[in-house]
Chains A and B, each alone.
Chain A
Amino acid sequence: MSELRVQGVTMTYEGADGQPVRALENINFSMNQDDIVTVLGPSGCGKSTLLNIIAGFLNPTSGRVFIDDREIAGPGPDRGMVFQHGALFEWLTVGENVSFGPRMAGIDATSRLASVDELLQLVGLAGFRDTPIYNLSGGMQQRVALARCLANNPDVILMDEPLGALDALTREKMQTLVLKLWQETQKMVFLITHSVEEAIFLGSRLLVMAPRPGHVVKEFRLPFAAAGLSADPREIKSSREFIAVREEILEMIWSMEEQH
């Protein structure tokens, strides 16, 4: 059982106008193997800062982040990253992108090939191993990005608006894929999104954040992610429980906006 712990993380830095920006204030939470945590909040609430701290791209002003008992002090292959776009290597094929991590670690080519084919199968890209990245649609590129971070067998997958650049139909299909990967690989998933519906549908836990300073307003524990694969996603999204949560969260976000 791996576990991710965020302890008292605070982030303050000097803004462009010389005034201190309080991006995060005393964030505490932990997640373990069963969790897919989604984070929702208006822009400026610090959710990307939080993700960058967990990924190891930013040092917090104070507080610490642990995976099991290892303290995070920089980026590493135990935390897979999926970005919104632009993070694939367009000079490599689909297969070469997926095997990038193992190749950097010096794992030999034959075992690499076997796992690449399995991963492509898993994300629904079987047969695309030798296709150049630039010949794929946006949705297929995100499938490659998912397979690429899984190739390193990370403890947690961090996703920064992974479906934000996709069209609405592709986005719904990809939500199902994210749930499938979460259930089949048994990995922790930490996902940031702007879409209220997506956050409710994908999160077994949902953190709502508010800005100035960035902090967690409320945490929800939701049943929809666990049911998402066996039931029809559209039925779930139009169920009374789902809509009730959605209205509650929208209410919270609207009131945040009105305060400013």
Chain B
Amino acid sequence: MSQSNVRKTRSWLLFWRGSDKGLAKCKTVTFGDPAAVEGGAIYGVLSVLTVGIVWQLVAMAQIVPPLFWPSPGAVFDKFIQIATEGYKGFNLFEHLGISLYRVMAGFGLGCLFGIPVGLGMGLNRFIKGWMDPLIEFYRPVPPLAYVPLVIIWMGIGDGGKVLLLFLATFSIIVISARAGVASVAIQKIHAAYSLGASRWQVLRHVILVNALPEIFTGMRVAMGVCWGTLVAAEMVAATSGVGWMVLNASRYLNTDIVLMGVILMGVVGFLIDMCMRKLEQKLIPWKGKGRG
């Protein structure tokens, strides 16, 4: 085996099992050392497999009637069926698409308004003074708590959902953008002015860029909150979307559709977060390395 193959195999092993090689082998204290819990992806695979097998075994033993405990196979069949034939007028991807559209619209608007307001609050006493009590007041209210109000004002259409997600995103982004401004080292601002930058250039090339890691962290959190809030909001009042599909199916005791929907929401939420993380690595490679 060539040298590079050995190295590849080693890093593969490290990822899947976690391995004691190099300096790690010589350490006497492993309890509490973060390096000691690196790797171990194999256990994750085993854990998922175990859950699947237990699910299947319970279904096969018919301990619980299939009406309440459909087998993994039955859930998968439902997935294929709804993906091809649809559920109540829309196929699965249309339901998903509607949900994603609502999330993206609310989230996008929240960022569009939240970033400038947050930056303004971090930079200007007047803006901070005006906005602070309003945001501090509505921020702790769980977004679902104003669903009834949103329904009264906007009805059960897309507008209400978008408004709800906008509100959820807005406060999170405002706070992260404001914290991002506060995190800038004053030497960086001084250095920029001494290099001849104007106020506007300092804002654009130092303050805003410096705040990006914090803003992006806020966006990831907001995205998670949005997805959770939307699904719940669709369960309260909607005529389409993944959340609505699940709630509607539960009324007819279609447990297989409910389970399929829940798994789908989890998978989509996970994929969204993964995309955000990849995007973060690509856009903000300096994150967490600021000591320049």
Q: Is B289 interfacial (CB-CB < 8 Å)?
A: yes
Q: Is B133 interfacial (CB-CB < 8 Å)?
A: no
The answer to whether A90 touches B196, judged by C-beta atoms less than 8 angstroms apart, is no
Binds B, one of A73-81, A179-187, A206-214, A230-238: A73-81
- Cα distance A75–B195 when bound, in Å? 9
The answer to whether A77 touches B187, judged by C-beta atoms less than 8 angstroms apart, is no
Measured CB to CB, the residues of B under 8 A from A are: 185, 187-188, 190-198, 201, 205-206, 209-210, 212, 284-286, 289-292
Question: What are 5 A-to-B residue pairs whose CB atoms are below 8 Å?
Answer: A81-B191, A83-B190, A91-B286, A148-B191, A149-B194
Measured CB to CB, the residues of A under 8 A from B are: 55-57, 74-77, 79-81, 83, 85-91, 97, 100-101, 104-105, 132-134, 141, 148-149, 152
| CB closest chain-B residue, reference A82 | B191
The answer to whether A77 touches B188, judged by C-beta atoms less than 8 angstroms apart, is no
Distance from A114 Cβ to chain B, minimum over Cβ atoms (Å)? 19
Distance from B217 Cβ to chain A, minimum over Cβ atoms (Å)? 16
The answer to whether A100 touches B195, judged by C-beta atoms less than 8 angstroms apart, is yes
Distance from A142 Cβ to chain B, minimum over Cβ atoms (Å)? 11
The answer to whether B290 touches A87, judged by C-beta atoms less than 8 angstroms apart, is no
Partner of A86, one of B185, B201, B284, B289: B185
Contact status of A133 and B194, CB under 8 A, knowing A87-B187, A89-B188, A104-B201: no
The answer to whether B291 touches A134, judged by C-beta atoms less than 8 angstroms apart, is yes
Partner of B292, one of A75, A79, A80, A87: A87
| CB closest chain-B residue, reference A57 | B190
Distance from B191 Cβ to chain A, minimum over Cβ atoms (Å)? 4
| CB closest chain-B residue, reference A55 | B194
Contacts of A86 in B (CB 8 A): 185, 187-188, 291-292
Given A104-B198, A105-B196, 13 additional A-B pairs, CB 8 A: A57-B193, A83-B187, A83-B190, A85-B187, A86-B187, A86-B291, A86-B292, A89-B188, A90-B286, A101-B195, A104-B196, A141-B292, A149-B195
Contacts of A77 in B (CB 8 A): 194-196
The answer to whether A90 touches B290, judged by C-beta atoms less than 8 angstroms apart, is yes
- Cα distance A132–B198 when bound, in Å? 25
The answer to whether B194 touches A81, judged by C-beta atoms less than 8 angstroms apart, is yes
The answer to whether B292 touches A76, judged by C-beta atoms less than 8 angstroms apart, is no
Taking each of A76, A90, A152, which has the highest tally of chain B beta carbons within 10 Å of its own beta carbon?
A: A90
Contact status of A76 and B196, CB under 8 A, knowing A85-B291, A141-B292: yes
